[in-house]
Chains A and B, each alone.
Chain A
């Protein structure tokens, strides 16, 4: 089966990962997964405002997933956060918190801000891929990078990296994030219908995609850090 955009079922869209693109942020990254374009910035660790959210033994990680008004295929989206954006902010925060060594910075916050600039399917996994790079770029200690993809089902077949069309007309959508080096899943959601056997195959297909994304994330970091350390004469 060939997909609408000509991809094989287990093929990712063309991807672009860039690290350190925003000057003001402590860490930042830009990710393209096909036409889905996402920017992430990290500020912190810093003192929380308001203070009452702080934890005595570790840092609190906050995430905000937000879509630009012009990012959607439909008519302009209101910039006020929707219920969907609030839920995604929560699951993204949890997916990233699993990897961050929060105990190293007690009584501080780490803010992760994500802006979807162009939404064409799989924006939450693109957001996690960008945010994980931004955290690394900010020097926040992590057990591993977090890499994510979505698996869908279309015409009875499982497909990797769901785009907007496949999301709208497909039979299922499973976004998954992992710490690939450790094999731990940190985000898992699903909507649609899958048999138990299909669900297991979806996880396996996701793992394959995640390993490819992980390599691209590491390549983006390598490009940036090799250039930096070359300047220092290494």
Chain B
């Protein structure tokens, strides 16, 4: 019989002593002090039997993203080497969680970005201001407007087109985006 990897122990509260430092490594929601491990938030205490790491599962996401999380952001300013963004949501398995944080985007090589583009980005550095990047296929622009006439752009194949002024462009568009498709007649 194999041992389960994760073992749920019990419900703990801030300040509870959950063990001694020799037993486990203190993970999320735990703090080691003077050789003891204390809980720092209420939740379910679990141990990963392979890594010997203990942590407290919390029932809702805390509203600071972690490294690797997908966030939605609006570009607020573009300078030569720096793109300023306002992060307004965190995408998680439990849905879209509203956020309000500033951050910077590492400019993707050869890709133009504009003020007011709405992007899905990956968190590289989670303490604020967040640092974000766009390198993977699910990342990129999810919505934007026409730079000429400010109308809504639509997706036609891999190009964005403006039905108002005829402007077209190619951008790094995220896989799961908010663009309406142009129907070919």
Touch between chains A and B, by CB atoms below 8 Å: yes
- Listed in ascending order, the chain A residues whose CB lies under 8 Å from chain B are 26, 44-47, 99, 101, 105-108, 136-145, 179-182, 218, 221-222, 225-226, 228-229, 232, 234
* B149 part of interface (Cβ distance < 8 Å): no
Indicate whether B15 reaches chain A with its CB closer than 8 angstroms.
yes
A45 to B: closest C-beta gap in Å: 5
Shortest CB–CB separation between residue B17 and chain A, in angstroms?
8
B interface bracket (residues with beta carbon within 8 Å of A): 20 to 34
As a 0/1 sequence over residues 101 to 127 of chain B, the CB contacts with chain A under 8 angstroms (1 = contact) are: 110000000000000000000000001
Given A26-B63, A139-B60, A47-B100 contact (CB < 8 Å): yes
- In the complex, whether B62 has a CB less than 8 A from a CB of chain A is yes
Specify which chain B residues have a CB less than 8 angstroms from the CB of A229 in the assembled complex: 11, 44, 59
**Can you list 26 A-B pairs, Cβ within 8 angstroms, ordered by A?**
A45-B62, A47-B101, A101-B31, A101-B40, A137-B42, A139-B58, A139-B60, A140-B62, A141-B14, A141-B29, A141-B40, A142-B40, A142-B41, A143-B40, A144-B14, A144-B15, A144-B38, A180-B15, A181-B16, A221-B42, A225-B59, A226-B11, A228-B59, A229-B11, A229-B59, A234-B8
A1 to B: closest C-beta gap in Å: 34
B window 53-77: CB within 8 A of A: 58-60, 62-64
Q: Considering the chains assembled together, what is the distance between the CA atoms of A139 and B13 in angstroms?
A: 11
Q: Whole-angstrom distance between the alpha carbons of A221 and B99 in the complex? A: 26
Main secondary structure of the interface of B (DSSP, over half): loop
How distant is the Cα of A137 from the Cα of B14 in the complex, in angstroms?
Answer: 11
Q: What DSSP secondary structure best describes chain A's contact surface? A: loop
Point out residues on B near A: beta carbons under 8 Å: 8, 11, 13-16, 29, 31, 38, 40-44, 58-60, 62-64, 99-102, 127-129
Closest 8 CB pairs of A and B: A144-B15, A141-B40, A181-B15, A142-B14, A107-B128, A139-B62, A139-B58, A228-B59
Q: Are A179 and B44 in contact (CB-based, < 8 A)? A: no
Expressed in whole angstroms, the minimum distance between the Cβ of A130 and any Cβ of chain B is: 15
> Across the interface, do B62 and A218 meet the contact criterion of CB distance under 8 Å?
no
Query: In the complex, are the beta carbons of A218 and B29 less than 8 A apart?
Result: no
User: Are A234 and B64 in contact, CB atoms less than 8 angstroms apart?
Assistant: no
Q: Which residues of A contact B44 (CB under 8 A)?
A: 225, 229, 232, 234
For A218, the closest partner residue in chain B by CB is B13
A136 to chain B, nearest CB (A): 5
B residues within 8 A CB of A136? 13-14, 41-42
Contacts A45-B62, A136-B13 aside, 7 further interface pairs with beta carbons under 8 A come to: A44-B63, A139-B62, A140-B41, A141-B14, A142-B15, A143-B15, A145-B13
